[in-house]
Amino acid sequence: MSTVILTVPPQGFDSTNPAGLEYTNAVPKLLFDDTTSEIVYWMLRLPSDFSSAPVLKVQYTMASATSGTFGVSVSIMAVTDGDAADVDTESYDTANSPTASTVPGTAGHLDEISVTLTNADSMVAGDLVFFKLARNVAGDTATGDAEVRAVSLEYTAS
């Protein structure tokens, strides 16, 4: 199993509905509203040892909720060297939206969501890959902000 870190803060914020960015104790966290679907982006060259089974790990806390669920939606766009595709034209695969997870019973306590990237736009080693992360506000029930602390991609290496 190999891991790629997707940093917080991310490389990009949606121009219309960006997730918030806040610092606590000088450390950043992303704030995802409970009603408006807010979005952030990453882009990277998929490592040469990527083989299969990509899973996005999302570590989060809740700002105040102690009940209900938190869910995310992850979309992938992969472009291969030589593809007849304008990289600046968005063409994301179907979103991966796992069932929302029950939040910790205490606000501020850490939980982790695993998002199996079933729809990964057929990404292969060496691809330029775009990741779009949004809160699944229609599919979760916890009120108030979700605070995303860390994101990483795990996969089976060749």
Partner 1 sequence: MQDTKKVQSLINAAAVAIEEARKLEAIRTKYIAASPSVTGTPLQGKLTLLNKFLGDLDTLLNSEAANLLVDNKVASHRGKAL
Owner of token pair 């979309």:
75
DSSP 8-39: SS-SEE-SSSBPEEEEETTEEEEEE-SSS--E
The distance of closest approach from Cβ of residue 127 to partner 1 in the complex, given in angstroms and rounded to an integer, is: 36
The distance of closest approach from Cβ of residue 98 to partner 1 in the complex, given in angstroms and rounded to an integer, is: 19
E strands, 46-83, are 50-62, 69-70, 72-79
Nearer to partner 1, 70 or 131 (CB): 70
Among the candidate windows 10-18, 74-82, 123-131, 141-149, which touches partner 1 by CB under 8 A?
A: 141-149
Helix (H) or strand (E) segment spanning residue 155: strand 146-157
Q: Is residue 141 part of the contact set for partner 1 (CB under 8 A)?
A: yes
Q: Is residue 68 part of the contact set for partner 1 (CB under 8 A)?
A: yes
Parallel, antiparallel or unpaired: strands 12-13 and 72-79: unpaired
The distance of closest approach from Cβ of residue 142 to partner 1 in the complex, given in angstroms and rounded to an integer, is: 7
CA dihedral 106, 112, 118, 119 (to 10 degrees): 80
Cα–Cα distance between 25 and 9 in angstroms, integer?
A: 15
The distance of closest approach from Cβ of residue 80 to partner 1 in the complex, given in angstroms and rounded to an integer, is: 40
* Binding pattern for the stretch 17-36 against partner 1, x by CB under 8 A and - elsewhere: --------------x-xxxx
Q: Is residue 99 part of the contact set for partner 1 (CB under 8 A)?
A: no
- Per CB under 8 A, residues contacting partner 1 are 31, 33-36, 63-65, 68, 137, 141-145
